Amino acid sequence: MTEQDSQISEIITRERSRLRNFIRRRVPDPADAEDIVQEVFYELIEANRLLMPIEHVTGWLFRVARNRITDLFRKKKPESFSDAAPAGESGEALQIEDLLPSPDAGPEALYVRHVLLEELELALDELPEEQRDVFVAHEVEGRSFKEMAAETGVSVNTLLSRKRYAVLHLRERLQSIYDEFTNA
């Protein structure tokens, strides 16, 4: 192994853990996080082979990691809350009403339905107003982002971002109630 390869190996060994933790705090999917770690070290090796001088290696590694994280989020399609909903027999996405127990299925089903609707309402109330408005307009009222942008003057990207944060909050907030009822 040449001296250059030895230095690269030493840097990778020294920085791998810190870099991986940095990336994992920002990227929810462990597979994506590991891919980014590998890409960053690959770029380090390439820069070294091209004899690009890197004065502050640690700072350079974290800057490249931030850029790769940004690239990952730009690439990802915004998730629709309805994309996560199971599909019915016809392949159509189920509506909230379809996921709740029927009000005619007896007192226990009526209780579960009431609890789920109450929890959903509480979770929606916890959202900042802008996120709640975008989520309700898109998911409940079926309005397009383009239509909302034209009405409000807020860019489509901002609306998408607000909805994404709303979906993430609702998923996290309602996961325990979902687990409770599916395991019962």
Q: What is the CATH number of the domain that holds 161?
A: 1.10.10.10
Which domain does 17 fall in, by range?
3-75
Please indicate whether residue 73 or residue 105 has the higher confidence score (pLDDT).
Answer: 73
Q: Which residue has the higher pLDDT, 109 or 8?
A: 8
Q: How far is CA 148 from CA 107, 140, 142, 154, 174, in A?
A: 40, 13, 11, 8, 26
99 and 69 housed in the same domain: no
pTM across the whole model: 0.45
pLDDT computed for residue 149 by the predictor: 92
State the pLDDT confidence band at 91, using cuts at 50, 70 and 90: very low
| Residue 163 and residue 78 in contact, taking contact as beta carbons nearer than 8 Å | yes
By percentage, how much of the chain surpasses pLDDT 90? 14
List C-alpha distances in Å: 84 to 78, 79, 80, 171.
12, 8, 7, 10
Rounded (10°) CA dihedral 110, 182, 174, 144: -80
Residue ending a domain, choose from 75, 109, 127: 75
Residues 179, 118 within the same domain:
yes
More confident residue, 109 or 11: 11
Does residue 143 sit in the same domain as residue 107? yes
> What's the whole-number average pLDDT of the chain?
78
Together in a domain, 16 and 62: yes
Does residue 88 carry a pLDDT above 50? Answer: no
- Considering the chain, what percentage of its residues have pLDDT values greater than 70? 77
CATH number at residue 41: 1.10.1740
Q: 101 and 155, same structural domain?
A: yes
The answer on 166 and 99 residing in a single domain is: yes
Q: Are residues 107 and 25 in the same domain?
A: no
Q: Are residues 118 and 178 in the same domain?
A: yes
61 and 120, same domain (yes or no) = no
Q: How confident is the model at residue 12 (pLDDT cuts 50, 70, 90)?
A: confident
163 confidence band (pLDDT: 50, 70, 90): very high
Rounded (to 5) percent helix, strand, coil in the chain: 75, 0, 25
- What is the count of structural domains for the chain? 2
